[in-house]
A and B are shown apart, each in its own frame.
Chain A
Amino acid sequence: MVMENWGIKNKKGQLKIQQMAFMLIAVTFLFALVGIFFLAINLYNLQKTATGLEEDNALLLVSKLANSPEFSCGNSFGGSRSNCIDFEKLIVLQGMISKYQNFWGVAKIQIRKIYPEDETLCTSGNYPNCGIIKLLDKNVNSTAFTSNFVSLCRKDLSDNAIYDKCELAVLMVAGEDKG
């Protein structure tokens, strides 16, 4: 009789330990799930903030990029011009863009002539008979382009006279989409 009781108690004890172990596993699993859910929300918000900051950067940069020394006309086209991009400098810059990959902290920089419109991509070979300069194009997901109107100027020759030729263009900048 004693042996039987002992066996029953032992089995009950084992069952309780099993219950406890299962309970603990379930509780740990629940906590882990809640943790992962919380982390996922946090990560999503962080990515959203990072993308938002990239967009802000592109927005503020596009209004000032034309005045940075690599782009600006300076005084070379008859006096000081604001929001003026030197076409010749751009073509040179296109050839050495590998050094400027992370310089402005954006994913894409493009300049498009809008008048007269021309859909030809610019290279050092077809300059100045082209209309789109893809200056920087990182192979990453990017935000929508933000743009700013600029004048695109260069020296030209007509009847043996050198003159400044400026055309209407749009400077487009896109940040990296971190999402």
Chain B
Amino acid sequence: MLYQKIMEKRLSPSGNKMLNNKMKIFSFCNFTKKNKGALEISFGWLFALIAGATILFLAIYFGSRIIGTSDETISAETGKEITILLNPLETSFESAQTTSITIPLETRINNFCSYENPFGKQTLQLDQKRFNQWTETDTDVSSYNKYIFSEEQVEGKTFYLFSKPFDFPFKVANLIYLTSSDDVYCFTGAPNEIKEEISNLNQKNFIVENCTSESIKVCFNEENCEIEVDYSDGEVRKDRDILYFSDIEDSNALMYAAIFSDKEIYECQVKRLMLRLKQLALIYYDKEIIEKNSGCDEGIGTSLISLSNLADDFTDSSALEIIKINAEDIEIRNNAIRCSLW
């Protein structure tokens, strides 16, 4: 009965009007024309706008992500290529080797080093300049058998690399020195053999005379320069930091390392070198045991073990001199024996 009454009321002219009004109110966004200033947007339009905006937002978001990923990829590829190109810098009996790398874009090479066991890690991270803006990436390229000495951040398009073997007393590794063509190093007061070596390298950013005001002055036994080298005491002073070097047979490998790198990089890489020295000393110790079967009977094994222990206890470059004394003693004894180990 009640339902019948309601239906009758709805179907009456007044009821019909009421129903129409209700429909107008509840129809989705179908605002009456009487409502001034309001837009008449159908559901379809609203839906299309929201969907379109979502699709556009997603397209822009994924587009920027893809560009970011491609930057990371390029950075990783270039970093890996640089690491691979360092392989030919491994020397056999040369005293030094040099090469250069040119990258099409302005590039910042970030050099990182860590010295965890067994050999530490050398990491390169590249940032490149695109549309006058540096695109910073998080992709690292690591290697365990390279020792790159440089500032923490080297910037430029062309990079010069030269390498020298580091013997302590046997060959431990090849040290690679990385500099940018934008940084010109001027060596003043250097001993003749160093001047000669630098000139022979033919590296365009190394000069030994006529220093310009923009060049980085590397002075030997002089003061008031950006980098001061105390050759006799085995010290390199820069920015209030003192880096100690100690080379056997005047190879100067660690001296160059101290000149071209930041203190943190230098200390870390030297620590890594000591980790490798420790392992190599153990290899030579075991080699001596094998050689005894072939009739060789000279014993420098215990000295090698103590060298390995010294290298294991290495803390910073100020301790290099103590290891050097030990290494020089072993070198003399190795040269004197019938079956030299290296």
Contact = CB atoms under 8 A, between A and B. Distances in A.
Interface string B215-258: 00000000000000000000000000000000000000000000
Nearest to B62: A35
Interface stretch (B32-40, B167-175, B206-214): B167-175
Contacts of B80: 53
A156 B294 contact: yes
A89 interface: yes
Interface string B47-90: 11001000100100010000000000100010011011101101
Contact of A162 (B93, B119, B172, B338): B338
A174 B95 CA distance: 29
A13 to B, nearest CB: 7
Given A57-B84, A96-B283, A127 B173 contact: no
Interface in A72-130: 72, 74-76, 80, 82-83, 86, 88-89, 91-93, 95-96, 99-100, 102-105, 127
Contacts of A61: 87
B294 A157 contact: yes
B214 to A, nearest CB: 35
Interface stretch (B187-195, B196-204, B284-292, B314-322): B284-292
B25 interface: no
B287 A49 contact: no
A33 interface: no
A138 interface: no
A88 B287 contact: yes
A120 B85 CA distance: 35
Contacts of A179: none
A69 B171 contact: yes
Nearest to B16: A2
B90 A162 contact: no
A interface majority secondary structure: helix
A89 B283 contact: yes
Given A27-B55, A57-B84, A70 B283 contact: yes
Nearest to B143: A105
A21 B287 CA distance: 76
Given A35-B62, A162-B339, A127 B290 contact: yes
B306 interface: no
B299 interface: no
B339 A60 contact: no
B308 to A, nearest CB: 12
B145 interface: yes
Nearest to B93: A80
A67 to B, nearest CB: 4
A2 B173 CA distance: 94
B340 interface: yes
Interface in A23-70: 24, 27, 31, 35, 46, 49, 53, 56-57, 60-61, 63-65, 67-70
Contacts of A156: 294
Contacts of B296: 155, 162
B87 A64 contact: yes
8 contacts: A17-B47, A53-B80, A60-B85, A67-B91, A88-B287, A92-B290, A99-B118, A155-B291
Given A2-B20, A76-B342, A80-B93, 12 more contacts: A20-B44, A20-B51, A49-B77, A56-B84, A60-B85, A64-B90, A74-B342, A89-B283, A89-B284, A91-B290, A103-B145, A155-B294
Interface of A: 2, 6, 13, 16-17, 20, 24, 27, 31, 35, 46, 49, 53, 56-57, 60-61, 63-65, 67-70, 72, 74-76, 80, 82-83, 86, 88-89, 91-93, 95-96, 99-100, 102-105, 127, 154-157, 160, 162
